[in-house]
Structure 1
């Protein structure tokens, strides 16, 4: 059930100032544990990965260290694959899909690629089940110079030395019913705009890059995920979330222009995944499996076509 009533913070038609942002922040509560759910798995992976601490969130550095997993057998001659999850902390399967891949499936490509996995880019968002950070800033619109989001800035600094060596970047996301009931109304209120109700796609889909499209790559990932879960259909206008469907389950955004995580490198192959855990045809576990299938298929395709 979604509500299209005005958001309870702010004045209709007026963008938020500092008082509204503080009011919004005061409403956020911790609902799960980054330490228990994520850091314990990362600690377990220290036996097989090089674990890099690449920053800490400035508002609570003790609680929110930022970690990435790096191939222990890193060799400069190999192509680099970047896997990111939890850019929006509330998108659970992105975080656990990245961790599941690292723990159970990465060994299959050992010696073929250098892997860099950042499984939980926004740990405060993970704990509060929130799309934004503490400043009501969307990290996935903040992969830009002088980023306003420390989550995004820290990841960009980590990846910067590898930017032109990344062959593949896959960024793991999901869309939930709260996008329509909470996050989109909050966005409209924050920016002083009217809320325009939309729909949530029922199924998995991918976001390609408008400027550097790779349709065959995206379709190969879709084909693999279709063996695990259903693919989101186009609506009656031939669109998914307002964007034209260019192949089954594939739309395009200008990734770098919008400051999206998937546009932060010069990777030849890049994509953003989206799954829908609230579908009656899905489960949280199925969504994690879909994310893993997407990562493994993307790596397989990129390796098979790196010279093509």
Structure 2
């Protein structure tokens, strides 16, 4: 048993409504989705189409879910899906997606259709958290009849391009708080013992175990390595308790786990993982790494 049990609930007993409400009462709004994200999206409206694809009506206020599209959408072109902020606390996923659109989105005009959902979980973005207010992880909830409205709304948005997408790149981070807060909270919520996995120092990718596309993954790693360092494997040749299959790459069964990376039938799919807590990386480097990953993913897909 964990010698320092999570402060909510009883060890090895799953949470009920009382424990979830206790957890929710501790969540504090640290930053503004409107100021940090919506304002940046609004500045892109002159060059891109912006749509509200859903609205989160939680007890403490409504939050619009926004997506950015290529202005001259052409069904004859391949479609690129970029998602960020599925876990709201993973800051470079959100701001890397926005930076990509701002700096490079127009570079691909006439070559691809871009669909970018930069902040899938705005409530969690504001509270620097992994879950939504119902203590549900949106990134384990991308399935039919999803219990997470964040996930359900994105599934509805993506449905028309599910079979047309060429690339889907989902932008994430692995942080020190994964090990100190979020994994312990998950274990407590589910009534399981907490088993540390370690936090890798550097960038890595999570491919789809059912269709790994190793050449695609390595092209992204090569591009990102010019911006920030790649996570080495641990002594067991693993990253977060998962075997390393190539430099900086592990694979998950993304659809079986209900992960965002499995929501389309895109030939090329991956999840980025930036490490913002490294003494060797700045916040801007983390955003730049996400941008490099997106560009490399698109360029590889178009070349192959």
When the two structures are superposed, what TM-score results if normalisation uses the length of structure 1?
0.97
Q: After superposition, what is the alpha-carbon deviation per residue over 1:245-265, rounded to whole angstroms, capped at 9, x for unaligned? A: 111000000010000000010
Structure 1: how far apart are the matches of 2:259 and 2:60? 24
> Conserved in 2, the CA contact under 8 Å of 1:222 and 1:294?
yes
Question: Structure 1 residue 233: deviation in Å?
Answer: 0.4
Structure 2: how far apart are the matches of 1:297 and 1:251? 18
| Aligned residues: CA RMSD | 1.1
SS of the equivalent of 2:160 reads helix
Question: Structure 1 residue 62: deviation in Å?
Answer: 5.4
Q: After superposition, what is the alpha-carbon deviation per residue over 1:63-86, rounded to whole angstroms, capped at 9, x for unaligned? A: 310000010011010000000000
Task: State the partner residue of 2:136.
Answer: 137
Gaps of 5+ in 2: none
Structure 2: how far apart are the matches of 1:172 and 1:32? 20
Task: State the partner residue of 1:303.
Answer: 302
Structure 1: how far apart are the matches of 2:60 and 2:26? 21
Q: Number of paired residues? A: 303
Structure 2: how far apart are the matches of 1:303 and 1:197? 40
SS of the equivalent of 1:111 reads coil
Question: Structure 1 residue 230: deviation in Å?
Answer: 0.2
Task: State the partner residue of 1:75.
Answer: 74
Moved segments of 4+, more than 4 Å: none
Task: State the partner residue of 2:51.
Answer: 52
Question: Structure 1 residue 107: deviation in Å?
Answer: 1.2
Structure 2: how far apart are the matches of 1:245 and 1:279? 20
SS of the equivalent of 1:232 reads coil
Matches within 5 A, 1:98-177: 98-177=97-176
> Conserved in 2, the CA contact under 8 Å of 1:88 and 1:122?
yes
In structure 2, relative to structure 1, the CA distance for the partners of 1:302 and 1:61 (3 Å cut) is farther
Task: State the partner residue of 1:88.
Answer: 87
Gaps of 5+ in 1: none
In structure 2, relative to structure 1, the CA distance for the partners of 1:165 and 1:60 (3 Å cut) is farther
Question: Structure 1 residue 61: deviation in Å?
Answer: 8.8
